[in-house]
Amino acid sequence: MWDLKNKTALITGGSKGIGLACVAEFAALGARVIFTGRNEDVLKKEETRLKKKGYKVIGVAGDVTLDSDRARLRDAIEKNFSSLDILVNNAGTNIRKATTGYKEEEYRKVIELNLMAPFELCRICFPFLKISGKASVINISSVAAIVDDHTGAPYGMAKSGILQMTRSLAVEWAQHGIRVNAVSPWFTLTPLTEGLLKQPEKIDPVLQRTPLRRVADASEVAAAVAFLAMDKSSYITGHNLVTDGGMSINALL
């Protein structure tokens, strides 16, 4: 069946943007979902809204770059589910600057959240994923991992690291029945990009380079993530599903 019934999922950065779209998509497909966010008020508002729809969701406030918050998240999984079928490493951020314009704490923040935190969460969640026997990890990368899209070197560096982590874990964890894949979106309408995409000088080059002549909706990225979480994709692992409206294959403007 094309659904996620009887699946348990953890989705990080799930209170807005692509993460929230994933939470809604997974829950609508029948999954039980724990999702994270740093703003507890926003997180609880979304949790309440989704529960009113009859969805089985649990919001856990916290910062996935902090050991203490990752430990609380591990405890929440153990308390509510005992095992885990799906991990979606979505939480991320960016600071767009020229290379020499970064302060050290700025580029470290970008790399910590986009690369180190997903690696640590994979390590923490491994015992729960192993229990599942047919688990799926989906790491949200970016086309910035494969081309320069003027979003800053640290972001591209971190997202490239995510792709190599995906390939390495796909091989290492296959023996445990754990598939590991990535999804790489192009510009997507989210709170993180909303301001940028309102600027004609920014959005026009994006649309010109994109054969579909539009940016993605977060729900479209969530659908790609959901497919990789399903048993229907059971022979796919180590793959990077590029969801970019054809941008990366378009050589000419």
- The active-site residue, picked from 55, 102, 155, 235, is 155
**Residue 240 CB burial class (10 angstroms; 0-12, 13-18, ≥19):** middle
Tokens of 38: 């740093």
Tokens of 50: 């989704």
| Helix runs in 82-240, H state only | 104-111, 117-132, 153-173, 194-197, 200-209, 218-229
Q: Is 107 a catalytic residue?
A: no
Q: 């923490």: which residue's tokens?
A: 124
Distance between CA atoms of residues 179 and 238, nearest Å: 7
Contact 145, 97 (CB under 8 A): no
Which residues does the annotation mark as catalytic? 155
